[in-house]
Structure 1
């Protein structure tokens, strides 16, 4: 039987391996809160891996959903992620709704490979990313959850739009184009341009249009950051700044999102954390 310390350690390893940006930002939190974040990330990662890498993703996601239902009924499997998550649910006043919506969003990736409108894309962004922010609110700001809900949703949308803009080339290899058809038509870009990785002036204009949508949402989310307790505020603002910096990294590589994956260097991440926290904030 995996003990709780081992369970959290494995959740941390999953987080550190798969999202250095997320891991770096939330390392600023107090230990118990930090561990809870790792457990929730591991939950989300488990579903994501089923959808992107599972041999039989439909069946595996269905099985995962049954495990989730069993978890909510009080049963805990001998699995580090479920063990850690059980401890999280015992410590914090967790809401299961965003977890269900996350599963809904991952199901969309199995059946929906194109989006006609921006509003349809935003629903997807909410399900796979804004839900994460809502999952984290009971940990980060237990006394201001209602006031911060819209901010968390906006930040999730911004981050997912950033992911989409960074990963256009990677997604197309999986047969997915997340850029809405209405936006592509507006800028005269078609699927062939995407499949062949053509960085034209029209593609750049389209990319910048969606980047502005993301940046507006970062700005909207940040207006309410003052409601977070200090340690959580630094972590959330750090995550937002580091993700937003991915957009600048894409610009620096001349919008080549087809052959190169943009990233924010460790030096840049450290500088951003020092910028928001000052010299007295531990960033190592």
Structure 2
């Protein structure tokens, strides 16, 4: 097996382990594009893991940033298979370098005691940690059409990250993170203590639904230009969006229990959604 093949295989194993939803959707891509997506996902996962699991995340993230800038100059550790795969991707596609830098910046936001006062603050965070992924993938999924798809690609990132936030409220609380904007808490007279006490009362459900409706609006906006994607990537992108959107209904079906349950779309439901895409 060649070094590049080994590198791509490792990247595939990473996405298969950590994101069954994305893996299922993007498995529909042609071989070369599929491998490239795996490599980009590995980069994003690496940054995410540094922040969530690193022993000294701030220093490790700074070091990773230095490594990325060196990589862009062609200087990287050949024993790090992620860089080997990503180097091949950068040679094959006209990648958006700034989106990679913005992703690192977004992950750094989780290292401070950041308070999200308004929804715009949450969307700024969502751009950096999620919309950037879409911008990284556009040159792979729709080469030459990036400028036409950029805005709605950003919208899809907003939608997916808001979905993540709404699904992971309990998990984030355990990490000392809160992405619900302060003005919504004030609007519905719901307190931080209510959150800590896991009160899924009427006020909580109202907050959750207001954010969910915003997410669904961004999903709808992202579908406006879906027809501009090449045929080979249209179904995977739309599939990823629909699979993620379905998480919101899973939460609703479980009475908004986001404190003690991690919500997933079942394998059967995933297959039904994918097969329904025209």
* TM-score (norm. length: structure 2): 0.98
Superposed, which structure 2 residues align to 1:21-36 within 5 Å? 21-36=21-36
Moved more, 70-79 or 248-257: 70-79
Cα pair 1:113 1:178 within 8 Å, conserved: no
Q: SS where residue 21 of structure 2 aligns?
A: helix
Structure 2 partner of 1:257: 258
2:150, 2:135 → 1: CA distance? Answer: 7
Structure 2 partner of 1:138: 139
Cα pair 1:215 1:244 within 8 Å, conserved: yes
1:52, 1:2 → 2: CA distance? Answer: 32
Cα pair 1:51 1:61 within 8 Å, conserved: yes
Structure 1 partner of 2:37: 37
1:158 and 2:171 matched: no
Structure 2 partner of 1:62: 62
Q: SS where residue 177 of structure 2 aligns?
A: coil
1:194, 1:18 → 2: CA distance? Answer: 27
1:123, 1:247 → 2: CA distance? Answer: 21
Superposed, which structure 2 residues align to 1:1-284 within 5 Å? 3-77=3-77, 78-277=79-278
1:163, 1:184 → 2: CA distance? Answer: 19
RMSD over equivalenced CA pairs, Å: 1.1
| Post-superposition offset of 1:2 | 7.7
Structure 2 partner of 1:281: none
Change (3 A) 1:225 1:206: same
Structure 2 partner of 1:282: none
| Post-superposition offset of 1:41 | 0.3
2:87, 2:263 → 1: CA distance? Answer: 35
Q: Deviations over 1:114-172 (max 9, x none)?
A: 21111011000000000000000000001211000001000000000000000000000
Q: SS where residue 223 of structure 1 aligns?
A: helix
2:244, 2:194 → 1: CA distance? Answer: 26
Q: Report how many aligned residue pairs link the two structures.
A: 277
Change (3 A) 1:192 1:2: farther
Q: SS where residue 276 of structure 1 aligns?
A: coil
Moved more, 194-203 or 207-216: 194-203
Cα pair 1:113 1:175 within 8 Å, conserved: no
Q: Deviations over 1:217-261 (max 9, x none)?
A: 000000110000012110000000000000000001000000001
1:76, 1:137 → 2: CA distance? Answer: 24
Large movers: runs of 4+ above 6 Å: none
Moved more, 109-118 or 181-190: 109-118
2:263, 2:42 → 1: CA distance? Answer: 23
1:8, 1:114 → 2: CA distance? Answer: 38
* TM-score (norm. length: structure 1): 0.96
5+ residue gaps, structure 2: none
